[in-house]
Amino acid sequence: MKRILVTGAAGQIGSDLVPALRAKYGNENVVAAAHATPLPAHVRGSGPHATVDVGEPAALRRALREHRVDTLYHLGSILSVLAEKQRHLSWRVNFEGLHNVLEASVEHDLKCVVVPSSIAAFGPETPADDTPNDTIQRPTTSYGISKVFGELMGNYYHRALGLDVRGVRLPGIVSWATEPTAGTTDYAVAIFYGAILNERYACYLEPDTRLPMMYMPDAIGALMQVAEAEGSALRHRADFNVGAMSFTPAELADSLRKRIPAFRMEYEVDPVRQAIADSWPNSLDDSAAREEWGWKPRYDMEAMVDDMLVHLKRKLRPD
Ligand code: AKB
């Protein structure tokens, strides 16, 4: 049986990944590690937890030792928008934190380390449509540079030190459990809160900004599936494109209007977030992930919108 530790367990993805891992491997075998943000009640109350600042190697090593961890999902990260504002924090968490995780994983002889990357690992010189898995990567954000660093370091630790590091380049993630607040793709979640609570939303991206997106159950599936994949079948390691859907704010608003006819979308464009979004791909070629470990998403935009509305209405208006 695996003993798993998840860093960033209080974040948008971590707070959904921990319950999924606990359902599969047993509550007591999955440690939820968080630092600055408190763990949500459903994560804190359902299994072991630890306070781990990934910038502090001693705390990380202690948690790995005390909980006898053999598998690590490293989700602790400062997302794109916050990383532009807080460069020191981004350095400490996204660069030093990753280095600490990899070193501690070698020391503790972990069997597998999953380090998610992002579409932010690409930049304005990358082909934007059907972005190939292996292509030019010259990101123009601190977060994007840290993601390329993570991919290269993951591949290096595997090749040079035999540490089994794996990762997928996640698109913008849409989910209803925990609202993201520090990323460029967050509009695709906030729009649902606006539509349900006020029948309107002011979008900070231009109406025709196309970005790759994914519904949370597929993101969780991708992270767990890549971790379980047969190692000998992998030609890539920490740098798999995974696609699911691509849409623009205007297309998502149209889809919501089909279900909430009174919904109104306005645009108050934020130049910082727009510039970041413009540097990222429109869509991804994920054939490497499909061929090497059988990646196949379940949700397209319409299925995602239906499911989001069911869950978020129940969460925001329980009666
Ligand atoms: C962000 O917008 O920063 C993240 C990402 C695409 O990695 N959601």
The pLDDT assigned to 206 comes to 98
C-alpha span between 32 and 50 (Å, rounded): 6
pLDDT the model gives residue 217: 98
Which 8-state DSSP code applies to residue 168? E
Q: Give 99-150 pLDDT, tens digit per residue.
A: 999 999 999 999 999 999 999 999 999 999 999 999 999 999 999 999 999 9
CATH of residue 187's domain is: 3.90.25.10
Nearest CA to ligand 1 atom 4: 183
Of residues 36 and 106, which shows the higher confidence score? Answer: 106
Q: Give, for ligand 1, the residue of 118, 272, 279 to mutate: max count of ligand atoms closer than 8 Å to Cβ.
A: 118
Q: Is residue 292 part of a domain?
A: no
pTM: 0.97
* pLDDT per position as a tens digit, 256-273: 999 999 999 999 999 999
Q: Which domain holds residue 67?
A: 4-171+215-241
Q: Give residue 28's pLDDT.
A: 98
Residue-level pLDDT at 319: 74
- Domain assignment present for 289: no
Which regions of 147-242 does DSSP assign to beta strands (E)?
A: 165-166, 168-170, 172-174, 200-203, 211-215, 240-241
CB of 244 shorter than 6 A to ligand 1: no
- Is residue 55 domain-shared with residue 9, that is, in the same domain? yes
Assign 87 a pLDDT band (cuts: 50, 70, 90): very high
Same domain membership, residue 137 and residue 158: yes
Catalytic-labelled residue, pool 73, 143, 157, 204: 143
Does position 287 have pLDDT exceeding 90, yes or no?
Answer: yes
Does residue 146 have its Cβ closer than 6 Å to ligand 1? no
Q: Are residues 270 and 141 in the same domain?
A: no
Mean pLDDT over each residue of the chain, to the nearest integer: 97
Same domain? For 141 and 273 the reply is no
Number of domains in the chain: 2
Nearest CA to ligand 1 atom 1: 183
CB atoms within 10 A of CB 257: 15
Q: Is 80 in the pocket of ligand 1 (CB under 6 A)?
A: yes
Decide if 288 is inside a domain. Answer: no
252 Cβ inside 6 Å of ligand 1: no
Confidence of residue 317 (pLDDT cuts 50, 70, 90): confident
Rounded-to-integer distance, Cα 249 and Cα 297, Å: 21
- Name the percent of the chain lying above pLDDT 70: 100
Strand partners, 247: 211
* Catalytic site includes residue 143: yes
**Measured from the CA of 80, which atom of ligand 1 is nearest?**
3
Domain co-membership, 232 together with 117: yes
Q: Hey, is 57 helix, strand or coil?
A: helix
